[in-house]
Amino acid sequence: MQRVEHIDYLKGFAILMVLLGHIFIAKAPAGTHYPFCEMIYSFHMSLFFFVSGFLAYKTNKIKEKGAVFFLKKRAVSLLVPYLFWLLIAPYFIKNSYPTNIKELINKFYFIPNLNYWFLPLLFIYNIIYLLYYKLTMGRSKNQELKVYSLICLIGLSIGLVCKQYYVVVYTIYFASFMFGHYLSKYNNLELFITQKHIYGSSAILLCIMWKFFPIEPNGDKFLSLANLVALFICSYTACIVFYTFFKQIHLAKPFKWYLSEMGKYTLALYLLPLFFFTNNFEWTNCYTHALINIEALGIAILQSFIAYGIAKIIDEIPYIRTFLLGKQ
């Protein structure tokens, strides 16, 4: 597939936001209020899933090569590196390696401080996407939207009725994934969201949400109903705003190079930086918010360059690149 320049920019920006989010959560003292962190957590994962959905439509090849090929390719690119890092990563984190089968099973989906949950969840989304694709093949746009709405309604109902609020969060992320799919498939939707009044009103609404309804990134408050509603609104508006911004902006060459190159290695930048600068500093109350934001951004950029360099080397080694980075 020919690379889409503004999607690479968007991917590069999204992974930088993910790195920043990880740094804030890892290093901020418990109970500390950081507006910049709350802004990031209102959209950064939704933006990542949005891009994944956009590319899922461009690259699925389900019609030409079948469902087995699609799932096999996704399993290699997502589950192989996930399982590899699942077994390796705990060695780098104190008291994190499982000592028995029960602990291994408990850690299978989420290793504390590693945040690899994105990979199996994205694989699950691709399975649902495959079913959706089969169900809606040859059907009208309205029928597609009905199937999509039914899937989201089932997810929301299960989460709310069973009080499993992470299911609600994952449904919101899936909605972002499918938004990317629709934007990639239907040109008229792209023309609609990039209109000045849609783009502008989305930007204003996003700023209002950031100011008056901040996302609480940690603990039980993240799963509160108010937080989930705010997350849903911020997810959609942020996808519209940042997609339009990077499609229309003319970046200076250094920024263009940085975002496009980092956008080509998002999985590496997601996996590798978790081993850098994780235990060698801690913010204290004497740090100002401005200083913390600058330091976090500097660390995230440094992490991205280190991971990018390592990824470029790994990318030249067959088989190793498959296990470590899911490259085929």
Say yes or no to pLDDT of 26 above 90: no
- Give CA–CA dist 246/8, Å, rounded: 9
Say what the pLDDT of residue 113 is.
43
- pLDDT class of 29 with cuts at 50, 70, 90: low
Asked if pLDDT for residue 260 goes beyond 50, the answer is yes
pLDDT beyond 60 at 280: no
148: pLDDT strictly greater than 50: yes
Residue 293 confidence (pLDDT) above 90: no
pLDDT at res. 112: 39
**pTM of structure:** 0.88
Return the structure tokens found at 77: 């690119």
Range of the domain at 135: 5-325
Q: Please, are residues 273 and 299 in contact by the beta-carbon 8 Å criterion? A: no
- Other beta carbons within 10 angstroms of residue 20's beta carbon come to 23
| 61 has pLDDT over 90 | no
CA distances to 117, 273, 276 from 97, in Å: 17, 19, 18
Considering its fold, how many domains does the chain have in total? 1
CA 15 to chain centre: 8
- The pLDDT, as a whole number, for residue 160 is 84
What pLDDT is recorded for position 109?
Answer: 46
Mapping DSSP to helix (H, G, I), strand (E, B) and coil, where does residue 213 land?
A: coil
Q: Decide if pLDDT at 328 tops 70.
A: yes
DSSP-derived secondary structure for 65-107: HHHHHHHHHHIIIIIHHHHHHHHHGGGGSTT-S-SSHHHHHHH
Q: Given this model, what pLDDT does residue 234 score?
A: 94
Say if residue 54's pLDDT is above 90.
yes
Q: What is the mean pLDDT of residues 37-62?
A: 90
Q: What's the mean pLDDT in 240-257? A: 93
pLDDT at 245: 94
Is-contact 303 19, C-beta < 8 A? yes
What are the C-alpha distances in Å from 28 to residues 68, 179, 213? 44, 32, 21
Question: What is the C-alpha separation between 126 and 88, in angstroms, rounded?
Answer: 25
**pLDDT confidence band for 278 (50 / 70 / 90):** low
Is the per-residue pLDDT at 25 higher than 50? yes
The pLDDT mean for the chain works out to 83
Contact between 217 and 249 under an 8 Å Cβ cutoff? The reply is no
> What's the rounded mean pLDDT across residues 118-143?
90
Residues of the chain with pLDDT > 70: what percent? 83
| pLDDT 10s digits, 94-125 | 445 555 555 555 554 444 345 678 898 999 99
- pLDDT band at residue 55, thresholds of 50, 70 and 90? very high
State the burial class of residue 253 (Cβ atoms within 10 Å of its Cβ: 0-12, 13-18, 19+).
exposed
